[in-house]
Structure 1
Amino acid sequence: MGHTSDRAPPDPERLQAPIARLLRPLVRLFVRSGITFPALCDLLRELYVNVAEYDFALSGKEQTDSRVSLLTGIHRKEVRRLRGAGAPISAAPASLSRTSRIIARWLAAPEFTDAQKRPLPLPRVADRDGGPSFEALVASVTRDLRPRAVLDEWLDSKLATIDADGRIVLAEAAFVPRGGSDQQLYYFGRNLHDHAAAAVANVLGEEPHFIERAVHYDGLSDALAERLEQRSRELAMEVLQEANREAHAACETDRGGDCRWTFGVYVYREEEREAPPQSPSTEDDARGPGR
Structure 2
Amino acid sequence: MQSPTLPPSMLSALQRVMRPLVRLMLRKGVTYTMFADLLKQVFVDVAHHEFRLNETPPTDSRISLLTGVHRKDVRRLRSDAGKAPEALPANITLGAQLVSVWTTSPPFCSAPGQALPLPRLASVGGDCSFDALVAKVSTDIRGRVVLDEWLRLGVVRLDEQDCVHLEAQAFVPQKGFDEKAAYFGHNLHDHACAAVHNLSCEGQPFFERSVHYDALSAASVEHLRDVVAKDGMQTLLAFSRLAAELESVDTPSEEQRQRITVGLYFYTEATDPDSSKTPGP
TM-score between the two structures when normalised by the length of structure 2: 0.87
Coordinate RMSD, CA, aligned: 2.5
Match of 2:18 in 1: 23
Match of 2:44 in 1: 49
Among residues 30, 38, 52, which one is paired with 2:33 in the alignment? 38
What is the rounded CA distance, in whole Å, between the counterparts of 1:202 and 1:139 in structure 2?
Answer: 41
Partner amino acid, structure 1, of 2:260? W
What is the rounded CA distance, in whole Å, between the counterparts of 2:128 and 2:91 in structure 1?
Answer: 23
Q: Taking every aligned residue pair, what percent have the same amino acid on both sides?
A: 41
What is the rounded CA distance, in whole Å, between the counterparts of 2:36 and 2:57 in structure 1?
Answer: 27
Is the aligned partner of 1:80 residue 2:71? Answer: no
Match of 2:231 in 1: 235
Q: CA 1:59–1:285 in 2, change beyond 3 Å: closer, same or farther?
A: farther
Q: How big is each residue's C-alpha offset from its partner over 1:11-41, in whole Å with a ceiling of 9 and x where there is no partner? A: 3422011111111100111111111111111
Structure having greater relative contact order (Cα 8 Å, sep ≥ 6)? 1
Residue ranges of structure 2 left out of the alignment (5+ in a row): none
What is the rounded CA distance, in whole Å, between the counterparts of 2:161 and 2:263 in structure 1?
Answer: 35
Quote the offset at 1:227 in angstroms.
0.9
Match of 1:144 in 2: 140
Match of 2:265 in 1: 266
Conserved 8 A contact 1:160-1:174: no
Partner amino acid, structure 2, of 1:267? F
Q: How big is each residue's C-alpha offset from its partner over 1:158-211, in whole Å with a ceiling of 9 and x where there is no partner? A: 322223543211113964423552111001000000000000000000221000
Conserved 8 A contact 2:118-2:128: yes
Among residues 178, 188, 191, which one is paired with 2:184 in the alignment? 188
Conserved 8 A contact 1:158-1:173: no
TM-score between the two structures when normalised by the length of structure 1: 0.84
Partner amino acid, structure 1, of 2:34? A
Conserved 8 A contact 2:87-2:186: no
Quote the offset at 1:114 in angstroms.
0.9
Equivalenced residue count is 272
Quote the offset at 1:130 in angstroms.
5.2
Conserved 8 A contact 1:159-1:170: yes
Match of 2:242 in 1: 246
SS of corresponding position for 2:259: coil
Conserved 8 A contact 2:154-2:173: no
Is the aligned partner of 1:162 residue 2:158? Answer: yes
Is the aligned partner of 1:213 residue 2:209? Answer: yes
Quote the offset at 1:91 in angstroms.
4.4
Q: CA 1:139–1:175 in 2, change beyond 3 Å: closer, same or farther?
A: closer
Q: CA 1:110–1:75 in 2, change beyond 3 Å: closer, same or farther?
A: same
Residue ranges of structure 1 left out of the alignment (5+ in a row): 1-9, 276-283
